[in-house]
Chains A and B, each alone.
Chain A
Amino acid sequence: MRWPILRTVFVKELRETLRDRRTLLMAIGLPVLVYPLIIIGFSRIAESGESAIASRASTVAVWGALPAEVEAALGDQTRLALKPWEGAPPEVRAALEAGALTAPALRNDEERRTNDEGRRANDERVEESGPVIEAARAAITRRQVESVVVLWPGFAERLGAGDEAALTVYFDSVRRESEVARNRVTEALREYRARVIARRVAEQGLPRGFSTALDIRASNVAQAERRAGRLLGTLLPYMLLSLAVLGGLYAAIDLTAGEKERGTMQTLLCAPITASEIVVGKFLAVWTLSLISVLANLLSLSLTISRLLPADVPSLGAANYVMTALVLLPVTLTTSALFLAVSSFARSFRDGQSMVTPVYMAVALPAAVVMLPTVELDAWTAFVPIVNIALLIKGLFLREVSVDLAFLTLTSAMLYAVLTIALAVRVFHRETVLLGGKESVRGVLGLDGKPGGLPTPSLAVSFFAVVLVLQFYGSLALRDQPIPTLLLILQYGGMLLPSLLVVAAFRFDWKRTLALRMPGPTAVLLSIVIGLTAWIFAAGVVARLLPPPENLQRAMERLIRLGDDPYPLWVVWLVIGLTPGICEELLFRGVIMSGFRRMGGVAAVALTALLFGLAHASIYRLLPTATLGLVLGIVTWRTGSIVCAIIVHAVNNAFIATLAQRPEIIEWAGITAASTEIPWTFTALGSGVFLVALGLIARNFEWRMANGEWGSDERGSDERGSSDKGGGRD
């Protein structure tokens, strides 16, 4: 990959894309238009509906003899048009007038109270069936009236006698105008009732509070800021995600299928430029378009919110928008690469559109789940591509995100990004794809390759991502199992088995990929020493730099002790020591590190260590485990043998577990179960021994690689220059 060439391709692709109106419209025009339109549109529709209803009088049928006083009270409500006996079937009217029908009985006090409140009476009361409700329902549903007030027989008399008079307001909660009618009627009646009660209380000479007793009011406790966040947090991630990725979508189709259609791809392919340079240049252009789109979206959104939302909803701070933009980066990486890869298969722009549209739907639709209030960022959703980012944005706006979950989300999102970029590069390496031929999935995945090769860097990262997700869901599914069972299944089933399968499926060279080579006695001895002292270095030095939180530490201790029940030491050694030694090493220092080998020793060891650290899924464990990963990488690289790494790993783990089980072994050094830090003196001594052993390994086994026993056909390592002097002792 040559940077000047990459820049040339990137600049040209971007220039070409920016001259395409269709792409620009999607990336910038759409967001600029959409947000104001949505917010204006929504409020207009709601407003106009409300105001139309509000300005019109409600038609209310009154079935029964209406006392003049009540009629006057309802008449105070100017927006009520009373229609005596409107819509009442003759038999119902006759029955009511004859006093043959009575008010449905209230079932209990609770219902009476609710009813009495006059508020939610008919919502909650299921007034089964009966001639009156059926007649009222018919009158309302055929839109003859909006509400029916039934004054039950004896209403006027009871009211006059100071008794309780019953009336029922029938309405349809589904129809907004019916609800408005109900509200107007009940409001007028409540006012009237208050006057009647006040009069009766005065007549009886009772105190003012006699009939009210309690004054109950409701008040919404949600802060205005959180209300704004809730509103935006549910709508925003969805809108942002689906629109932000659209910017890259058209650019991706244009630069691949469009280029093929225009017949310019072939010219590019016979220029002195590699497929990787073409695809990465194109990818950068598509990504830039996505970023422009993200910015356009956020800008348009923030302006819309600050200008158009009601004044009592405070706008969100600039920090929120910056965070959102940052969080969107990995998603735009993923979607840009995905669109690029998929549209590469198309032969024309139209073809590309029909291929990418389903992919876009698959991206945009899951993001819609964030609009459900119950779906939140947790350990499960943090690994679901796209959705995790949408949830993270929602969390940011609602201020409900934990650092660890955000870390997990961003890590997995970056992994998905790397995975899709690797896919795009792979697709571009297939000449039949570029020249418009047919291509098989098997071909793109590289499963048709020649036997005896080594993994590629992209395969290493892809494989790592797959294993990580596998581990993650595995550990959630098995969380009710005892810890030893869980660990054994995850290690052998989730790491070793996939490693062996991938080597078999791609027909890699077993010995070279997994570094299967027996070390000599010196290497074994040094490995044991390193294994015994590495933890002192990691715990004494590294953990001081970034102390883990206490609950994590307790969880780790519990894990190392295999739970709360004591196990015999040999079980601990097997489960915590040997098993991870074999499984994790064959995965990391085997498949993954051999994938990075062509990038040189330093890069291979460092990248593998980074992934090893990331695999431990907590930001606090990243540094110590990555340090251990570095040590294991150096040991493997220098000795050329996975066995040495297995020894270091197994001894290291087993020793720590032994100390956790039998703390008395180490108490003489001033370390107790309660102390979290290892004393400096002990740290210095242990670290010294560790560094000497590591140095000896690094110095004396340098020749392994240079002699070509470990990948002679690879592009060289950084250390090759100094490698001649090493004689090797084992």
Chain B
Amino acid sequence: MLTADGLTKRFGAVAAVEDVSFAVEAGEIVGLLGPNGAGKTTTLRMLAGILTPDAGRATIGGLDVHAEPLEAKRRLGFLSGDTQLYQRLTPREVLRYFGELYGVGHTLEARIEALVRELDMAEFAGRPCSTLSAGQKQRANIARAFLHEPPLLILDEPTTALDVISGQFIVQAIRRARDAGRAVLFSTHIMGEAEYLCDRILLIHRGRIVDGGTLPEILARSGRGNLTDAFLHYAGA
């Protein structure tokens, strides 16, 4: 569903991401795990077509993200922890806006109502987003990312700044998406979250993928007992 092939991005002399390659298949959750500044966000932004890579290519459903950006982006739902909503619009207006941009068509209103029910948003869906709590905002954001039923979800630290209960909405949404056969790629710096949620894990450090596989595979290769120790092993700390 998603492939990264030799992705590289430099900001001036600094290589933020260097030769990153991997694939995410339909119906699996892949975690991109690494500390702050490891290159997670830059990698995801290149995959989402927000940043242009200096080298390498990314495809979504076989479509080159940079050669056919509109078609590729239509297959993608993107959500990041620091994503905000239009403060002066209501969640319903935000959903309607993105629904039109994604070309959802005549089913849009029904789809919005379904999401409002599913994510328990009825209470605040008509209030300006500036008045919502962090958890309510993130639920509205999930609705926005899932609105056009994309076969691929890219989530950049989606649980940042959320309490446990609000975080659960995300966790459940990710699981439901996987069960519906969608491909999910999400980044986190929280080891536990990766262990708990992911089918496969990619360890990223200083812009490079240092190891990737299922949790038991990574533990076996690194010879450590848990993910944190395995990561520290690769980080050379």
Contact = CB atoms under 8 A, between A and B. Distances in A.
Given A15-B89, A262-B86, A264-B84, A271 B51 contact: no
A267 B81 CA distance: 11
A725 interface: no
Interface in A242-293: 262-264, 266-267, 269-274
B64 to A, nearest CB: 14
Interface in B46-93: 48-52, 69-71, 73-74, 76, 78, 80, 82-89, 93
Contacts of B52: 431
B124 interface: no
Nearest to B48: A270
Interface string A13-24: 001100110000
A435 B74 CA distance: 21
B84 A272 contact: no
Contact of A271 (B11, B73, B80, B85): B73
B83 A272 contact: no
Contact of A270 (B49, B84, B87, B93): B49
Interface string B177-203: 000000000000000000000000000
B186 to A, nearest CB: 15
Contact of B50 (A15, A263, A264, A435): A435
B48 A16 contact: no
Contact of A20 (B85, B88, B101): B88
Given A267-B144, A431-B51, A435-B50, A272 B103 contact: yes
Given A8-B100, A271-B73, A264 B86 contact: yes
A271 B84 contact: no
B97 interface: yes
A270 B41 CA distance: 13
A264 B80 CA distance: 11
B69 to A, nearest CB: 7
Contact of B71 (A4, A8, A272): A272
Interface string A451-475: 0000000000000000000000000
Contacts of A266: 45, 50, 80, 83
A67 interface: no
A269 B101 contact: no
A16 B102 contact: no
A263 B93 contact: no
Given A19-B88, A20-B88, A267 B78 contact: yes
A16 B69 contact: no
A270 B70 contact: no
A259 to B, nearest CB: 8
B98 interface: yes
Chain B CB within 10 Å, residue with most, of A4, A12, A437: A12
A305 B210 CA distance: 75
A5 interface: yes
Nearest to B130: A262
Interface range for A: 20 to 34
Nearest to B49: A270
B78 A270 contact: yes
Nearest to B78: A270
Contacts of B102: 271-272
B93 A272 contact: no
A201 B86 CA distance: 91
Contacts of A437: 11
A8 B80 CA distance: 24
B89 A16 contact: yes
Contacts of B51: 431, 435
B86 A16 contact: yes
Contacts of B87: 262
Given A263-B82, A263-B83, A270 B97 contact: no
A4 B99 CA distance: 12
B47 to A, nearest CB: 10
Given A12-B97, A437-B11, A269 B50 contact: yes
Given A264-B86, A267-B144, A431-B52, A272 B69 contact: yes
A12 to B, nearest CB: 5
Given A12-B93, A15-B89, 20 more contacts: A5-B100, A8-B101, A9-B101, A12-B89, A16-B89, A19-B88, A19-B128, A262-B87, A264-B83, A267-B78, A267-B84, A270-B76, A271-B101, A271-B102, A272-B73, A273-B70, A273-B101, A274-B69, A431-B51, A435-B45
Interface of B: 11, 45, 48-52, 69-71, 73-74, 76, 78, 80, 82-89, 93, 97-98, 100-103, 128, 144
The 3 A-B pairs with the shortest beta carbon distances in the complex, nearest first, are A263-B84, A270-B78, A19-B88
27 contacts: A5-B100, A8-B100, A9-B101, A12-B89, A12-B93, A12-B97, A15-B88, A15-B93, A263-B82, A263-B84, A264-B86, A266-B45, A266-B80, A266-B83, A267-B98, A270-B48, A270-B76, A271-B73, A271-B101, A271-B102, A272-B70, A272-B102, A274-B70, A431-B51, A435-B45, A435-B50, A437-B11
